[in-house]
Amino acid sequence: MQNFEKYTKGYFMPPESSLKWTQKESITEAPVWCSVDLRDGNQALVIPMNLEEKLEYFQLLVKLGFKEIEVGFPAASETEYDFLRALIEQNLIPEDVTIQVLTQSREHIIQKTFESLKGTNQAVVHLYNSTSVAQREQVFKKSKQEIIDIAVTGAKLLKKYAAETEGNFKFQYSPESFTGTEIDYALDICNQVLDIWQPSTDNPVIINLPATVSMSMPHVYASQIEYMSERLNYRDNIILSLHPHNDRGTGIADAELGLLAGGQRVEGTLFGNGERTGNVDIITLALNMYSHGIDPKLNFENIFEIIGIYERLTRMKVNERQPYTGKLVFAAFSGSHQDAIAKGMKYREDNDCEHWTVPYLLIDPKDIGREYDGDVIRINSQSGKGGIGYVLEQKYGLDLPAKMREDFGYRVKNVSDRQQKELMTDEIYAIFVEEYVNINTPVEFINYQFTQHDDFKTNVSIKMNEEIEELTGVGNGRFDAISDALQSRLGISYDNLVYTEHALEVGSKSQAISYIGITAPNGVRYWGCGIDIDIMTSSVKALFSAVNKMSNNE
């Protein structure tokens, strides 16, 4: 690409090494979650939510388990003010949920913010001002000290109006555009704000360090967080919060490494909705932790319900490849993947496994309301015999012999390739029935009767060319006798007969299914299947099906 030389890094590494986080293997507990869907998320929508929609979204967030929810910027618009008042006046805020409101460092805005909070039990008042080099030079045209003065003035005003307003208020400060700010300068601003607020054990303060614009690789953000965490005043009485955006596609990595580096709280949105490429996706973050055996303290057990509400209220769509939640994220089309998943599931059944280790599936799809049928094994021209057989077994209880699975797999793939589409489960079953089950041309099975002396003897009634015929066969068993009758009448021969059968466990349990494979003189194997309430009759129908397939192909 051209013009690459006009770009340079806009971030600042800490002046001293901050790499202790690299010695940690994993996150060990869930952070405090704060949803900013109703502020950052809502302001990024083409059509922002109206009052009723925001009320419904708030109730969804409560149901999912969020204990801190940023409800908006009440001094910015009447819609946001009215929404906050509706929450308070209609008693919609549970006692264990804290709402958060945003304010700039301007007195009339801070005053209206506290007016909007009258009657609430508890709230976080979130003060912010932008501190980056680009914002200072290009937008505000102010010196470092003038930017500090804005933050300090706002901190004093929050303390003043909180003292004059009934309720329990926690303060939060964000040096907005933190990632583009000199780290020592960001530390100085935060510490000056903290000196005004004087956090204590009973009254902690939130310091929020946002990647307002993601500018660096995730390890840089982690180093910035660790540097701040180790040098902030009153550290034991501070809740260090992260607010990653996703400009570089690293929002999740920024949050995870930031938590290793000292972060204790995460602000984000469902599905990562937000300005530009969005905020960090809390669902992905939480389920990443879940996949490591950590309780995320949020409930995503019915993901389709959540998606439905989210898409209806935001008019946004969840991408098919969105981690955990997209329609295709558990889907396996590749034959080798399908085979591994099917064998992994079978291994779990046989070994009563304590932990989830199924190949290609990071978590059990059922834990978030997904189904194996239709969600995991998806059939198209790239699919393999293992996956196709697995679909039949899970949905219809059919346990095909291995070689028959291979034969059927090729037939299904050919249909999918010819039609250029994915095949649904019912379509796959229809192909199976058409290709193998109770095939009755050119010879239709009617009935049979056995007698036994030294050998088994059978009389078989068939229909061929629209006429009923009686055949006689002899063998060392009933099945062998029927086979002898068929070969004699049709003038054919075959060997290497393979036979399996089982009860159908899905649908009517009184039915039996049999599978038979025969090998023609030219070495081609033909498969047939029979289904009947009588196990012997089902095996006879399977034999007729295989013989008919061979006859039709000669």
pLDDT value, residue 156:
98
Ramachandran region, residue 141 (left: φ > 0; alpha: ψ -120 to 50; beta: rest): left
- Tokens representing residue 187 in the block: 């530390």
> Is the pLDDT reported for residue 377 higher than 80?
no
CB of 72 closer than 8 Å to CB of 124: no
Instruction: Say if strands 495-503 and 512-519 run parallel, antiparallel, or are unpaired.
Output: antiparallel
pLDDT value, residue 520:
92
Given pLDDT bands bounded at 50, 70 and 90, which one contains residue 25?
very high
CB of 214 closer than 8 Å to CB of 247: yes
pLDDT value, residue 397:
87
pLDDT value, residue 373:
59
> Is the pLDDT reported for residue 378 higher than 70?
no
List helix spans (H) across 19-143. Answer: 42-43, 51-64, 78-89, 107-116, 133-134
pLDDT value, residue 509:
59
Q: What is the mean pLDDT of residues 3-29?
A: 93
pLDDT value, residue 215:
96
pLDDT value, residue 452:
65
pLDDT value, residue 453:
61
> Is the pLDDT reported for residue 379 higher than 90?
no
> Is the pLDDT reported for residue 482 higher than 60?
yes
Give bridge partners of residue 469 from the DSSP assignment.
462
Instruction: Say if strands 205-211 and 238-244 run parallel, antiparallel, or are unpaired.
Output: parallel
Q: Give 29-298's CATH code, choosing from 3.40.250.10, 3.40.50.20, 3.40.50.1980, 3.20.20.70.
A: 3.20.20.70
- Comparing C-alpha atoms, which of 288, 282, 378 is closest to residue 328? 378
Ranges 115-119, 171-175, 291-295, 392-396: which has the least confidence: 392-396
Given pLDDT bands bounded at 50, 70 and 90, which one contains residue 504?
confident
Contacts of 174 (CB under 8 A, 6+ apart): 126, 127, 128, 207, 208, 209, 210, 243
Reported as type and span, the H/E element at residue 297 is: none
What's the CATH number for 443-553?
Answer: 3.30.160.270
Q: What is the mean pLDDT of residues 50-74?
A: 97
Task: Quickly tell me which residue has 């037939």 as its tokens.
Answer: 411
Q: What is the chain's mean pLDDT, rounded?
A: 92
Ranges 201-210, 375-384, 425-434: which has the least confidence: 375-384
pLDDT value, residue 438:
92
- Distance, C-alpha 462 to centroid of its chain: 55
CB of 143 closer than 8 Å to CB of 184: no
Q: What is the mean pLDDT of residues 225-242?
A: 98
- Residue 179, judged by CB atoms within 10 A of its CB (0-12, 13-18, 19+), counts as buried
Strand order of the sheet with strand 495-503? 495-503, 512-519, 525-532
- Comparing C-alpha atoms, which of 210, 131, 125, 112 is closest to residue 172? 125
pLDDT value, residue 414:
83
- Tokens representing residue 388 in the block: 């196709």
> Is the pLDDT reported for residue 388 higher than 90?
no
> Is the pLDDT reported for residue 196 higher than 60?
yes
CB of 296 closer than 8 Å to CB of 290: yes
Q: What is the mean pLDDT of residues 399-426?
A: 84
Angstrom distances, CA of residue 153 to CA of 102, 169, 192, 533: 16, 18, 11, 85
- Comparing C-alpha atoms, which of 136, 147, 62, 150 is closest to residue 103? 150
CB of 489 closer than 8 Å to CB of 513: no
- Residue 231, judged by CB atoms within 10 A of its CB (0-12, 13-18, 19+), counts as middle
Q: How far apart are the first and last CA of the chain?
A: 62
- CA pair distance 72, 67, nearest whole angstrom: 16
- CA pair distance 202, 193, nearest whole angstrom: 18
- Decide if 29-298 and 443-553 have a common fold: no
Ranges 32-46, 216-230, 530-544: which has the least confidence: 530-544
Domain ranges of the chain: 29-298, 335-435, 443-553
> Is the pLDDT reported for residue 253 higher than 90?
yes
pLDDT value, residue 506:
54
- CA pair distance 515, 542, nearest whole angstrom: 6
CB of 209 closer than 8 Å to CB of 174: yes
Ranges 94-108, 174-188, 285-299, 416-430: which has the least confidence: 416-430
Instruction: Say if strands 456-464 and 467-475 run parallel, antiparallel, or are unpaired.
Output: antiparallel
What is the identity of the amino acid at 280? V
pLDDT value, residue 238:
98
Please state, for a pLDDT cut of 90, what percent of the chain lies above it.
72
What are the counts of helices (DSSP H) followed by strands (DSSP E) for the chain? 18, 14
pLDDT value, residue 313:
98
- Comparing C-alpha atoms, which of 376, 471, 470, 374 is closest to residue 429? 374
More confident residue, 299 or 385: 299
- CA pair distance 429, 392, nearest whole angstrom: 7
- CA pair distance 38, 61, nearest whole angstrom: 10
